[in-house]
Amino acid sequence: MKRDMETMKLVRDKIPQIIAKSGKVAEYEVITDEKEFENLLHQKLLEEAQEYVASGSAEEICDILEVLYAIMDMKKWDMEYIEDKRRDKVRRNGAFTERILLKAVHE
């Protein structure tokens, strides 16, 4: 089998089937180790964040959200738990609505 593209990255569940439908063969494995999966999700989050910064596209925001949902699922955190944490942090530290740029802190 000729290797057209050497890739070692976490991909969405249907990517192997999509590759097969294009007439190519996907070589892949299913990650069963939780720590390895968590590390791969962290790498994927950084990859998707970089892609969003480069493109500014809604598609990349969707990818970021999907990775975040996978992390939440792995950690058994539901949306209510995350929203409670987010709201608490907003109460304590604010959000980003006022667009404040901190320039310096002086003693």
- Residue 10's nearest CA partner among 33, 59, 20, 99 is 33
Per-residue HEC secondary structure of 41-97 comes to HHHHHHHHHHHHHHHCCHHHHHHHHHHHHHHHHHHCCCHHHHHHHHHHHHHHHCCCC
Q: Check pLDDT > 80 for residue 1.
A: no
Band the pLDDT of 4: cuts 50, 70, 90.
Answer: low
> What would the pLDDT profile of 39-52 be if each residue is shown by its tens digit?
999 999 999 999 99
Listed as own residue / partner, the contacts of 26-32 with beta carbons closer than 8 Å and 24 or more positions apart are 27/1
More confident residue, 3 or 24: 24
More confident residue, 60 or 3: 60
Band the pLDDT of 91: cuts 50, 70, 90.
Answer: very high
Mean predicted lDDT score pLDDT of the chain: 94
Please report the pLDDT score of residue 6 as a whole number. Answer: 62
